[in-house]
Amino acid sequence: MPIEPTAAWQKSSYSSEASSCVYIAPGPQNTIHLRESDTPEEILTTARPQLAHLIAAIKANGPGITP
């Protein structure tokens, strides 16, 4: 499914002013699009509950979590 060219991308409040900023945009049917500023053409699409679960796991365990 192609991403809307006019998607409302928003920079994460945790991203610095330098490179490697994370952007998110709402998608259809309760999905979220994610991209990184260095490679904006590469877009990850996930469901909101799965993204919330990932964020909770990172907050609880740090970024070095393993499945």
pLDDT tens, 24-54? 999 888 899 999 888 888 999 999 999 999 8
Helix/strand/coil percentages in the chain, nearest 5: 20, 35, 45
pLDDT at 7: 74
pLDDT at 40: 86
Question: How wide is the angle at C-alpha 28 spanned by C-alphas 53 and 1, nearest 5°?
Answer: 100
